[in-house]
Amino acid sequence: MDGNQGSTPETWGKVFRAGPLAATLATWFGAGFLPVAPGTWGSLLAIPFIEGSFLLGGIPGLTGFALVVSLAGIPAADAVVRRRAEKDPSQIVIDEVAGQAIALLPVYLFARGGSPVRFWLLALVAFLLFRVVDVLKPGPIRKAEGLAGGLGVMADDLLGGLLVALVLTAGLALLR
């Protein structure tokens, strides 16, 4: 219950009725309720939105999507955390959406105009690396999830996405 001691957890029905927008965003339109590994579902179901953002606005559109989801995720996750009286309910997956968008930025930046097979293989690598980092939470990434409320929910995945983006950028630079 970290940070919510004494609070009574609300049912998901009450959470959605009290703050439908926050709950819908935090669970990424319900993806967080899919069975087994909701974070993986959140990351996977982010990809059509990431692709759409790129198709509509190029790199600025994708960057804007990552920024908006990151910033909107903090208060949305915070509202759900407070109502659920849990530090980081597994159903909150907007953090994975934001982290996955950040992790994919270098793939779109450096590989989108080339071979589609190469692009989608690199996108798969970004997806898998992000999932590994999200599960293992190396170094300061684990510490970031200790922050309070929605910021703590989001921070570890934002840093994880950044780490993957940096690794991919370095790898792609070496392959050029």
Which pLDDT tens digit goes with each residue over 129-142?
Answer: 999 999 999 999 99
- Maximal C-alpha separation, the chain: 56
pLDDT digits (tens, 9 = 90+) for 58-70: 999 999 999 999 9
Find, among 87, 122, 115, the residue nearest to 3 by Cα: 87
pLDDT digits (tens, 9 = 90+) for 78-125: 999 999 999 999 999 999 999 999 999 999 999 988 899 999 999 999
Q: Which domain holds residue 151?
A: 36-72+93-175
C-alpha–C-alpha distance, residues 44 and 5, integer Å: 33
- 3 — pLDDT class (breaks 50, 70, 90): very low
Contact, 110 vs 169, CB < 8 A? Answer: yes
In a domain, 11, yes or no: no
In a domain, 31, yes or no: no
Find, among 106, 97, 98, the residue nearest to 167 by Cα: 106
In a domain, 28, yes or no: no
> Which pLDDT score is estimated for 2?
44
pLDDT digits (tens, 9 = 90+) for 19-67: 999 999 999 999 999 999 999 999 999 999 999 999 999 999 999 999 9
Report how many domains make up the chain: 1
Cα atoms in the 13 Å half-sphere on the side-chain side of 150 = 20
Residue 111 is encoded by which pair of tokens?
Answer: 């590989």
Model confidence pTM above 0.85: yes
In a domain, 146, yes or no: yes
In a domain, 167, yes or no: yes
pLDDT at 5 over 90: no
Average confidence score pLDDT of the chain: 94
In a domain, 59, yes or no: yes
Where do runs of H (alpha helix) occur along 7-37? Answer: 12-18, 20-26
In a domain, 9, yes or no: no
In a domain, 100, yes or no: yes
Contact, 113 vs 36, CB < 8 A? Answer: no
C-alpha–C-alpha distance, residues 166 and 77, integer Å: 26
